[in-house]
Amino acid sequence: MPPKHPAVRGTAAVLASGLALTLIAASPATADTPLPEPALFHEQEIDWTPCEEEILSSLECARVEVPLDYSDLDGERIELGVLRIPATDPEAARGALFLNFGGPGGPARLSATGYAGTELNEVYDIIGMDPRGVGASTPLDCDVDFPMMSPRPTDAEVSAHTRETIRYSRACDAAQGELRRHMTTANTARDMDVVRAVLGEERLNYLGYSYGTYLGAVYGSLFPERLDRSVLDSAIDPDEIWRATFMNQAPGYTEGVERYAEWIAEQNDEYGLGSTTTEVMDTFHTTSARLTEEPRTDVPGMGGEAYDGAFFDASAGEYARYQESWAETAPFLAALALEEKEVPPPPLQRELPDIDPTLYASNMDLFSALVCEAEWPRRISTYRQDVREHRELYPFGVGAFFAAVQSCTFTEYRPTEAPVEVTRDGYEPGVIIGGEFDPQTPLAGSVSLAERLDGPLITVTDDGAHGFYLPGVGAQDPYPCVREKVDSYLIDGDLPDDTTCPGRPRPTSVTDVPDEAPIAPLWEPGRPLPQAGPVPTAPIG
């Protein structure tokens, strides 16, 4: 499902329209309504066999049946794909550690392999469960392209995008309506608990990133007596799901570009884009406008495809967040801004591995269904005004995408239940982690969740990355402070106090280039990873 601008897949940029539409929706039931205990599903036997995929064939995989609708246990069943990496020190083993890498819409099995052989794996069985709807689990596939557009669209683009979103929503409802309405965080949490029971575990341990932080908090709210240790990295504010969560990304991307521009201005003798932050930002805006009117077709890595203003806006927003690589990425943007005849190869490219895409690829159909578990505005005028503001104030990175209409604006079905009220009542506090300049999950979300759950917060200062606990990267770990504190908690049970850890340093000169590209192990909506291209991408796991 390639969008018009592949670069925007890394930043999920789109726009809304000027149609005067109003739709009325009924309120769903509360998720706190007691549901029957799925004991029959808890009693199924799990059959571990070598994983079917060649890249995973040395590992154990299994399938677990769960009800599509937990209020109708005799109804339709779906399957979950599960991977297990047994603890390497059975005598020290303390149960299962479930992993979720975000999205919503990201698979987990391939990502979980990055934790094999770590200190965590000595004491934990690593469990990668593909959530319902994605990967090896029963898939949600609308068989229609997901509508995507540029970060700062014209009014004509906004109108066209709205029409495409209506078409997409109706097609998905027609093809997968019954499945879509049961794609909720609460049901995914219930699926986790079925897998826990099938594994024979009284309690599970949990490590979740990004959307996975919300999933973990929901699991603890629904099953407090079954949650042991938990780490929630790059957290989401449970009071802001879902439209506000995603709209709050846009300011962070543009603020990151402003910090990037400040550094570039300090290196004006090298780059020539301006001697002040304002001058560099003006250069970026001018470059975007020029490339929109006159795209370049000679940018390396593009295969002759036009590199236009949408690519530039998305690239600038994404490059800005990885500040340790500014000296590597700035020459590429400068060459475009100064209209140089030869543009250097796009930095931070990744080679696309020859593996089954379902192991790592985004599922925007699942994303577009799950976020409908919360209410979305039904008046098009609301989106139209928000898009106008975002494209003017926050044109980089995701830009106006999440200010625009989404599938939830038009879908005909309503969710089966309202979102779970997140609480911590009956289980011990876990660790929450947030990055000071993370645009995808702004620090305020981690602060809010830490307050809600009354757990310690580790704040990573002066860093725009997303996901900071990286036990699988070994000596390359850019956040040893985070790793030390989280390992001490997960392995030894030592809960840290609120604290700060340093982020990756900014370059000290134009030649200060890191040996390795930034490590960003998480999956996010619109970011099929890994992927080669002019926008920086990163491996999962």
Active site amino acids: 210, 438, 466
The angle formed by the CA atoms of residues 296, 10 and 97, to the nearest 5 degrees, is 160
Residue whose C-alpha is closest to residue 355's, from 145, 143, 144, 540:
540
Among all chains, which residue has been given the structure tokens 């802001």? 240
If DSSP codes are grouped into helix, strand and coil, which group holds residue 197? Answer: helix
| CB-CB contact of 401 with 12 (8 Å) | yes
User: Letter for the amino acid at 7?
Assistant: A
| CB-CB contact of 479 with 460 (8 Å) | yes
| CB-CB contact of 369 with 133 (8 Å) | yes
39 contacts: CB under 8 Å, gap ≥ 6: none
**Residue 535 belongs to what H/E stretch?**
none
Question: How far is it, in rounded angstroms, from Cα 144 to Cα 479?
Answer: 40
Give, in order, the Cα–Cα distances in Å from 494 to each of 94, 95, 206, 226, 234.
15, 17, 16, 20, 21
Among all chains, which residue has been given the structure tokens 């990885």? 322
**Where do runs of H (alpha helix) occur along 152-230?**
155-180, 185-198, 211-222
| CB-CB contact of 407 with 180 (8 Å) | no
| CB-CB contact of 164 with 1 (8 Å) | no
- CB-count exposure of residue 116 (10 Å: 0-12, 13-18, 19+): middle
Question: How far is it, in rounded angstroms, from Cα 256 to Cα 272?
Answer: 20
Residue whose C-alpha is closest to residue 187's, from 58, 343, 67:
67
Query: Could you give phi then psi for residue 139, rounded to 5 degrees?
Result: -80, 150
Q: Is the bond into 242 cis (omega within 30 degrees of 0)? A: yes
Query: In sequence order, what are the beta bridge partners of 433?
Result: 233, 458
SS (H, E, C) 60-87: EEEEEEEECCCCCCCCCEEEEEEEEECC
Query: Could you give phi then psi for residue 478, rounded to 5 degrees?
Result: -80, -5
Among all chains, which residue has been given the structure tokens 């850890």? 501
